[in-house]
Amino acid sequence: MTRISAKFDQLRREGRKGFIAYLTCGDPHVEATVEEVLLLERAGVDIIELGMPFSDPLADGKVNQAAADRALRSGTTVSRFLDTVKTIRRSSGIPIVLFSYLNPLIAHDFRRLCRKAARSGLDGMLILDLPVEESRMFSQDLKRAGLDHIFLVAPTSPDERIRKIARASSGFVYCISLEGVTGMRDELGGDARRLVERTRRFTSLPIALGFGIATPRQAARVAEYADAVVVGSAIVDRFFREGDSRAGRQRAAAWVRELVRAVKGVEA
């Protein structure tokens, strides 16, 4: 059992919903990332999605694109990403999911990278541009390394494709609330609840919902029907706006705590 599965088992036993926070590793530098992860854990975050900065982040909106650019300019590489996870592991057992596009991963020999990722303390991977139809070899390498393979389900996914994704997934299934790229929205897509309900027909895995969630009210609404709520761009933006200092990161983490409280107030 991975840390991800263990965390969802714990949440289920306690009758609570999960909160998953996204950060871009190395934004604005890896030392800040380590501090942010530890602050978010203390704020009640259950799982961290840690983004691998990439020069062509096609699924990301402007906030995460800018974060990836800052991380690349700070010198964040695949090796530094894994070293950052190792550093976090000295102080924390929080589950960490690598959030990446395929290109940087296969450039480093994917099978060997999986083994190194597991040794660093990583728990799973979400590869945004890897379709389930082409994922078998990669899923096998992840499984051999003891890592979960998490897939995205989009509002446009037909039932048969959701079935394939559910069968290929481990850890949890990640539903996205809207079509298009990541980013904060005033309102979530109207089909978000229906997508979670459709996906639940094909899997007993926990189902998380993300993309567009930016306020406690939105987070609480999603927690009414999803097993976990994912917040990304809003958190990245808050850390950036609060500034590159310990005090700024503490202010940002305090704001995230309000999102967490909104989710935890909803019983499973």
187-228 pLDDT tens trace: 555 689 999 999 999 999 999 999 889 999 999 999 999 999
128-185 pLDDT tens trace: 999 999 999 999 999 999 999 999 999 999 999 999 999 999 999 999 976 544 444 4
CATH number for the domain formed by residue range(s) 3-264: 3.20.20.70
Q: What is the reported pLDDT for 177?
A: 78
15-24 pLDDT tens trace: 999 999 999 9
Catalytic residues: 49, 60
Q: What is the reported pLDDT for 187?
A: 58
pLDDT of 186 above 70: no
Quickly list DSSP for the chain: --HHHHHHHHHHHHTB-EEEEEEETTSS-HHHHHHHHHHHHHTT--EEEEEPP-S--TT--HHHHHHHHHHHHTT--HHHHHHHHHHHHTT----EEEEE-HHHHHTT-HHHHHHHHHHHT--EEEETT--GGG-HHHHHHHHHTT-EEE-EE-TT--HHHHHHHHHH--S-EEEESSSS-----SS--TTHHHHHHHHHTT--S-EEEESS--SHHHHHHHHTTSSEEEE-HHHHHHHHHH-SSHHHHHHHHHHHHHHHHHHHTSB-
Q: What is the reported pLDDT for 76?
A: 97
Q: What is the mean pLDDT of residues 116-133?
A: 97
